DNA sequence: CTACATTTGTGAAGTTTTTCACAAACAGCG
DNA sequence: CGCTGTTTGTGAAAAACTTCACAAATGTAG
């Protein structure tokens, strides 16, 4: 039953999990209807999404909140912790490093890199900013599974390749370019300019149709 | 011909524009084939995407780079500048404020707000951090069209409502909640936790199928 | 001016995702 | 224990999106 899962389903699963986290009546149950209401989707969609991964509701009752939450964490792969390397100690890197939800969800930042000599050696929490010279070496040594690229587009492709070379399993990419890496290494792009453009498009569109 | 445009089309338009910007042979032309190669999609998709907005290619030749670039900017609503209000002067707010591509694309940050008394009055570039007490007033006075919410989830809904009340036309939301605003005000969500979850899902999935 | 080599724009076909609708399962109650 | 009121899980229908394939343009070369 678990074959090709739509990206949109994955995004909704995150939403469901978020809803359940802000739901302290942990002992109780929740219906697809209620879950849908919190997530701006439909009950049928919720059930279909979940059905991709098995059937863990009780007919007539709904879903056990505790259990569903645990199951979603498992599906999303956050029922464990991830060893993360942060590449780029600029504003965005700093913001991510400090992001509370980050650590809280098991994403452990175990190394920070930056090419700027002025930054190398700087202490960030328990971490120290390192030189890219020791990139592969450190990634391997610390068994980093996932890197966050918060560097300019010009450097991103090279660092992505080096990360893959060092055995990283996935990349969260903030640089506004399409990385060229082997398909076995998933890349998730976050492109702030694109988000702003989507917004100004939507506004312009609304105005045109008004 | 311009009716309901898929969100995925809008994202691709951004990509096309990005490709064209890194293409200095401005006088020349580019074919849908070439554009597709740079954007990880297909020629047919490129043509279909563009065809939603008219037909501005020349058969046998392709698209005039200059013209297409201008047309894309117009479609995306960035052939003008936007007056932006930044709500939340934390790490994320700072990162966005400093983001070079930001100013470069006509997003003008004209006001910054934060509830933390320690931050109010702080100078950021030419801006000074203001109190939320004067939120609506300032938004109206400066004619802010677009706000960026870089604040905790607990405060986001309230500030969104107040922004709408003050006549804002769109919201870029970094808080991990679904904002409840009138449909005429588009909201674009950026959810870093969700991106990480999508990534860990993809990695886990790859491992399961391996 | 005609034949030719391209490349767009677009209906139609194909695929994917969402919505519908209903049988099956379950708790509660008398 | 059987009836009732829910709510799931899921095929089937509908809608949305992507790919195909080809006629209509357009520049080029002879």
Is residue B1 domain-resident?
Answer: no
Residues B175, B116: one domain? Answer: yes
Residue A52 near chain B (CB below 8 Å): no
Mutate which: B77, B94, B153, B157, vs A, most A CBs within 10 A: B77
What DSSP letter does each residue of A111-139 carry, written as one string? EEE-S-TTTTT-EETTEEEE-GGGHHHHH
Terminal C-alpha separation, chain B: 45
Residues B35, B67: one domain? Answer: yes
Alpha-carbon gap, residue A58 to A48, rounded angstroms? 15
Q: Do B202 and A107 touch (CB under 8 A)?
A: no
Q: Is residue B1 a contact partner of residue A192, using CB atoms and an 8 Å limit?
A: no
Domain limits at B28? 7-76
Residue A101 near chain B (CB below 8 Å): yes
Is residue B58 domain-resident?
Answer: yes
CB contacts under 8 A, A 143-172 vs B, are: 145-146, 169-172
For B46-91, the pLDDT digits (tens) are 999 999 999 999 999 999 999 999 999 999 999 999 999 999 999 9
When computed from its CA atoms, the radius of gyration of chain B, rounded to whole angstroms, is 20
Alpha-carbon gap, residue B181 to B183, rounded angstroms? 6
- Residue B1's pLDDT is 61
Query: Which bases of strand D have any atom within 7 Å of the beta carbon of a protein residue?
Result: 5-11, 16-21, 24-27
* Least confident stretch, A194-198, B48-52, B205-209: B205-209
Residues B104, B58: one domain? Answer: no
Residues B98, B128: one domain? Answer: yes
- Residue A49's pLDDT is 98
Residues A59, A104: one domain? Answer: no
For A147-182, the pLDDT digits (tens) are 999 999 999 999 999 999 999 999 999 999 999 999
Residues B58, B104: one domain? Answer: no
Is residue B201 domain-resident?
Answer: no
Q: Is residue A166 a contact partner of residue A140, using CB atoms and an 8 Å limit?
A: yes
Phi/psi of residue A70, nearest 5 degrees: -65, -40
For B147-169, the pLDDT digits (tens) are 999 999 999 999 999 999 999 99
CA distances, A32 to each of A51, A171, B79 (Å): 12, 33, 43
Alpha-carbon gap, residue A21 to A72, rounded angstroms? 11
Q: Is residue A188 a contact partner of residue B195, using CB atoms and an 8 Å limit?
A: yes
Is residue A208 domain-resident?
Answer: no
Total domain count for chain A?
2
* Banded model confidence at residue A66, pLDDT cuts 50, 70, 90: very high
Residues B187, B173: one domain? Answer: yes
Residues A89, A190: one domain? Answer: yes
Residue B125 near chain A (CB below 8 Å): no
- Among B178, B72, B194, B55, smallest CA distance to A194 is for B72
| CATH number for A125 | 3.40.50.720
Residue nearest to nucleotide C17 (CA to C1'): A6
Residues A33, A123: one domain? Answer: no
- Residue B175's pLDDT is 96
Residues B17, B44: one domain? Answer: yes
Q: Which helix (H) or strand (E) holds B176?
A: none
Q: How far is the CA of A52 from the C1' of C18 (A)?
A: 14
* Banded model confidence at residue B180, pLDDT cuts 50, 70, 90: very high
């Amino acid at each position: 039953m678990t074959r090709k899962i739509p990206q949109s389903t994955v995004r909704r699963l995150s939403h469901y999990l978020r809803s359940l986290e802000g739901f302290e009546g942990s002992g109780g149950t929740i219906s697809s209807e209620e879950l849908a209401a919190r997530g701006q989707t439909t009950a049928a969609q919720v059930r279909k999404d979940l059905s991709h991964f098995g059937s863990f509701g009780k007919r007539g009752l709904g879903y056990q909140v505790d259990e569903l939450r645990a199951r979603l964490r498992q599906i999303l792969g956050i029922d464990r912790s991830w060893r993360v390397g942060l590449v780029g100690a600029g504003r965005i890197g700093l913001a991510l490093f400090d992001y509370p939800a980050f650590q809280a969800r098991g994403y452990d930042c175990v190394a920070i890199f930056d090419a700027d000599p002025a930054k190398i050696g700087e202490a960030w929490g328990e971490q120290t900013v390192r030189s890219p010279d020791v990139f592969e070496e450190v990634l391997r040594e610390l068994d980093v599974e996932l890197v966050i690229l918060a560097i300019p587009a010009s450097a991103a492709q090279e660092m992505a390749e080096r990360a893959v070379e060092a055995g990283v399993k996935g990349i969260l990419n903030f640089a506004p370019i399409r990385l060229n890496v082997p398909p076995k290494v998933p890349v998730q792009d976050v492109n702030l300019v694109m988000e702003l453009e989507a917004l100004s498009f939507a506004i312009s569109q609304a105005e045109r149709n008004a």
